[in-house]
């Protein structure tokens, strides 16, 4: 099953980089938004998550704040 995955990140955030590496290693397609460069996407991220920190990941409508590997694996159906 293909998942809809949105990543809200910044270019310099180490957890954002790890998150994107994790998704790539697991062949998970995602759309990335650099909230440091895109104010509208930053506002969208805050509305969805209530958080200013990154990364914020949305998987099939479910919001996960931070690189929380167990929650991300569960949401993607990875063991």
User: In the 3-class helix/strand/coil scheme, how is the chain assigned residue by residue?
Assistant: CCCCEEEEECCCCHHHHHHHHHHHHCCCCCEEEECCCCHHHHHHHHHHHCCCCCCEEEECCEEEECCCHHHHHHHHCCC
Which residues of the chain have a pLDDT value below 50? none
Q: What is the pLDDT of residues 21-40, one digit of tens each?
A: 999 999 999 999 999 999 99
Which domains does the chain carry? 5-76 (3.40.30.10)
- Quote the pTM value: 0.95
Return the residue matching tokens 């809809």.
4
């Amino acid at each position: 099953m293909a998942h809809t995955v949105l990543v809200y990140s910044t270019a310099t955030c180490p957890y954002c980089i790890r998150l994107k590496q994790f998704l790539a290693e697991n062949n998970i397609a995602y759309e990335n938004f650099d909230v440091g460069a895109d104010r509208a996407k930053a506002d969208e991220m805050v509305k969805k998550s209530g958080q200013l920190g990154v990364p914020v990941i949305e998987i099939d409508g479910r919001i996960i704040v931070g690189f929380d590997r167990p929650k991300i694996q569960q949401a993607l159906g990875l063991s």
